[in-house]
Chain A
Amino acid sequence: MTDTAIPRLSALAATVVLAAALLLLPTAHEAEAQSLLSAGGLGMPTDAPDARSRMLGGVGIGMSGSHLLPHDPAAAGRVGLPGISATMEIGTETPEGGERARRTLFPSIGVIYPHGGNVFFATFSGALNQEWEATAQPVIDFGDREVRALDVFRGRGGISAARLGMARPVTDRISVGASIGSHVGSIERDFRRDLNPSDVGTGVEPFTSEGIWRARGLTAVGGVSIDVSSVLRVAGSVTWSDDLELSPSEDTDGESLRVPMPTELRVGSYATVAPGLGFALSLQTADWTGAAGAMGDEAAPGRVWQWGAGLEWMNFSWLERQFPVALGYRQRDLPFSFLGDAATERAFTGGFGAYLSDLDEVNPLARLHLGLEVGSRTSDNWEESFFRTTVTLRLSGG
């Protein structure tokens, strides 16, 4: 066995194990659980879909090295080995004075394959998520007596984007990429009212109503990544989406709803400000006015912004392996209102990477990043804290 065969074997074995582990994971639709703030509109947009971006407070674009990121297609142009990248997150949300809810998300998975000077890739990433429940205990007046009831409304859904794309380096310093695909997923809502049997009598049945709307809509991303110098990279991308068509399922009453989706702009940069010390800064903006209007959200903020920045220390090693560590901060507006008020999310971020096996500087074989975020989401009438752990595993082989 030659030396070059060694990494092939390890990557293949790990890929098989990783694939098996991923099969055990709930799908994006099953595993979603979100903040109550996801009750607004189409839900809460999925944040940067990888752990390294999150630990640097970024929006998922413009980082050093080579990557497979759904909203930074040009970054794939620098990838030299086929591979797979998958991210999952575990988090908790704790409303002020409320109970903590735990959730799991599976923000993205991607496959990449360089061939003939081009790099082909496929990504499946979360876009919008909803998982929430509201209860009420109305007392119904029947004139001669009162009847207690329990109302439960549950909203859940996951809209993801499946895209195929291609990227290629244009010069040594410039890479471009694009992908196209479709939004997929559904929004599900159900309502149930139970009357208290002790107020009504035995044999009381619940009232239920439910609806499922399937989501479809074209989406495409184009981007460019430029190494301005050996210590500075800048990148930008545009994510365009056609109207999201929400079609009621066979058992659901009503007409299809077309929701205009915003064009999202992302820019990001990564500068090596000192030997082993990187600084990342990124920004994202999108105008959700049309989507909010279609969803009847009159108090939505319209154009929303997200920005974040972080420092990455690359010179830490352990067991002869590089373990970069990072700290950052980010802030974003949420596109839909909650109980009539716009909300903002803020978080301190951090984390570390584990470069388990690298062929060379731009061709990692096995890397793991773990991002941690501690933050809050606030509006005029709501406050909740959250903690999130994100793990991205990237495996490559020759």
Chain B
Amino acid sequence: MKSRASGGALGAALLAGFLALQSCTDEVPTSTDPALIPVEVETFEVLLPFGDFADGFRIDGGYGTPSSLSTNRIILSEDETFEVRPVLRYPSGPAVVQVFPPGETQTVPDSNYVTTGGRVTITFDTASHRLEGLPPYEIEAASVLEGWHTITASWTHAVDSIGGVVPWSEPGGGAVRHLETFLFDPSDSTSVTFELDSLTASEWIVTENLARGLRLRMTEPGKAIRISSTSVEYDLVSEVDPDTALTFSGSPVTSASTMLLSRPADGGEGRMLVGGAPSHRSTFRFQLPDSVDAPSALCPGDGPCRVEVTAERVLFAGVNFTTMPTSPAALVPRDSLILDMRPVLAPDRLPRSPLGTPVLPEGRIVGGEQFDEDGEAIIEIPATRLVRDLVRHARQGGDDDPPPSTVSLISAAEPSGIGVATFRGPGTQGAPFLRIIMTTSDGVTLP
């Protein structure tokens, strides 16, 4: 009796438990009949001109330096109004060299070696889309004779730092000593080598010599070429054993070279500049409206009406920029660049305000051709969350710090190249506009 009763009851309980486990995966019956959805929803798109959603437009420049770029370009524009000259500082020579004295089997240090000459090798980027103008390219190589600072040197100044400002004796690298004028034809070779005289080599090998450097210049207009790499080789003769000839070679590190640009990209009225070296930033402040024009379907009667802008209603917001040709044309980006829009964390400290994290984490890749003569395009930077946050704070307030309403359009790396992205600025045809997609609804209700 006992075993039957308890066994049966436990069996029943186990069955209930089993059924309980069976119940763990419910599926919701689903219909694709829209008539079953008892919610009226209207989704529409609104395009807000710049003046309706933003103000405080400004362009700032001077971010970064060409010396941080890994490649250098040599450019002379067709009209000869724009020029880029790279200035390269090669490594100095060693303090001592080890040589075998005559008849000895042990080396000794020799710090009084004599520099007798050397040679420079320059390899060019011969990818066709990076060459401008028809080959061959005539390039003048010259030795810089004035002290210069790799990070702050510019077309007009050899040094432009907090510690001092020293202009070149003449713009574009100051006085130089001509070394060589050579022709480079990509169909013949990818590199050029020319000899250094003993005077130049002996100047360049001295570490303390801040004037040492090679300046390159395109001599024919309408041509541009990019340097892939370069190196120097010094010929040395030992004082310990004059019959011992030595060579020492090295390549300039990135930070030991720069480019001198004869002038910046054209900015001014109606233009937004982004990127370049040094880089530009275009900045503006969101001033979003409380309401926008509603589509006629949402308006009672025939008259126009407005719809309040709330965070929940904004499904998408994107700032649209219209590209325009960069001037001078030599500054049209030759490669894709990544545009970034970042909140300005301290607008009152512009142009030195820190920036927040990108509005679009992966950035917006834009082809350089969009900024060419016939490359007009509209580039959209999605900013839905930022706009939602701004609207939410404007409507609801709260104790939290307001989200930053000022944003800067920048290139993701500053600088990413000397190429400048140019957009049509406020007040012009094609000025930036904000595209908002909104949805309105009375929401779910009973019945």
Contact = CB atoms under 8 A, between A and B. Distances in A.
Interface in A202-239: 202-211, 213
Contact of B28 (A90, A104, A133, A200): A133
Contacts of A205: 314-316, 384-385, 388
A33 B28 contact: yes
Interface string A154-191: 10100000000000000000000000000000010111
Contacts of A101: 27-30
B59 to A, nearest CB: 26
B20 A88 contact: yes
Given A207-B312, A207-B313, A211-B443, A356 B28 contact: no
B8 A366 contact: yes
A133 B31 contact: yes
A213 B23 CA distance: 26
Contacts of A133: 28-31
A395 B9 contact: yes
Interface stretch (A66-74, A264-272, A274-282, A292-300): A292-300
B13 A297 contact: no
A315 interface: no
Given A134-B31, A203-B383, A18 B5 contact: no
B383 to A, nearest CB: 7
Interface stretch (B40-48, B180-188, B204-212): B40-48
Contacts of B380: 201
Nearest to B22: A90
A387 interface: no
B36 A357 contact: no
Interface in B1-35: 1-2, 4-6, 8-17, 19-35
A93 B360 contact: no
A321 B431 CA distance: 88
A274 to B, nearest CB: 28
A17 B29 CA distance: 33
B382 interface: yes
A206 B45 CA distance: 15
Interface stretch (A20-28, A53-61, A325-333): A20-28
Interface string A131-167: 1111111101011000101010110100000000000
A6 interface: yes
A221 B418 CA distance: 85
A105 B44 CA distance: 42
Contact of A13 (B6, B16, B29, B44): B6
Given A10-B2, A104-B26, A206 B315 contact: yes
A88 B19 contact: yes
Nearest to B11: A356
B9 A195 contact: no
B10 A25 contact: no
Interface in A349-383: 354, 356-357, 365-366, 368
A261 interface: no
A138 B44 CA distance: 13
B445 to A, nearest CB: 6
Contact of B444 (A6, A149, A211, A297): A211
A34 interface: yes
A122 interface: no
A111 interface: no
A3 interface: yes
A284 interface: no
B366 to A, nearest CB: 15
B43 A253 contact: no
B95 interface: no
B441 A191 contact: yes
A51 to B, nearest CB: 11
B17 A24 contact: yes
A3 B45 contact: no
A257 B447 contact: yes
Contacts of A324: none
A393 B368 CA distance: 75
B76 to A, nearest CB: 41
A286 interface: no
Contact of B13 (A7, A21, A208): A21
Determine the interface band of chain B, counting residues with CB < 8 A from chain A: 35 or more
B13 A339 contact: no
Interface in B199-238: none
A100 B29 CA distance: 7
Contacts of B10: 10, 13-14, 17
Nearest to B445: A254
B139 interface: no
A272 B235 CA distance: 122
B437 interface: yes
Contact of B385 (A32, A41, A203): A203
B5 A366 contact: yes
Contacts of B313: 207
Contacts of A18: 12-13, 16
B30 A339 contact: no
Contacts of A211: 443-446
A20 B313 CA distance: 47
A132 B31 contact: yes
Interface string A94-128: 01001111111000000000000000000000000
Nearest to B14: A17
Interface in B402-447: 437, 439, 441, 443-447
A365 B30 contact: no
A290 B17 CA distance: 41
A132 B28 contact: yes
Contacts of A304: none
A35 interface: yes
A366 B12 contact: yes
Nearest to A156: B28
A189 B444 contact: yes
A314 interface: no
Nearest to B317: A203
B445 A33 contact: no
B23 A26 contact: yes
Contacts of A88: 16, 19-20, 23
B38 interface: yes
Q: In the complex, which of the residues B8, B17, B316 has the most CB atoms of chain A within 10 Å of its own CB atom?
A: B8
A25 B10 CA distance: 18
A274 B28 CA distance: 45
Given A211-B444, A393-B12, A193 B30 contact: no
Contact of A34 (B5, B29, B388, B447): B29
A95 B36 CA distance: 15
Contacts of A93: 29
A14 B446 contact: no
Interface of B: 1-2, 4-6, 8-17, 19-39, 41, 43-45, 312-316, 318, 360, 380, 382-385, 388, 437, 439, 441, 443-447
- The 6 A-B pairs with the shortest beta carbon distances in the complex, nearest first, are A356-B8, A14-B9, A104-B23, A203-B382, A10-B6, A134-B36
5 contacts: A101-B28, A140-B44, A195-B43, A248-B446, A391-B16
Given A17-B13, A132-B29, 18 more contacts: A32-B26, A33-B29, A39-B36, A99-B30, A101-B28, A132-B31, A133-B29, A135-B32, A193-B41, A195-B43, A201-B318, A204-B437, A205-B315, A207-B441, A211-B444, A357-B4, A366-B9, A368-B12
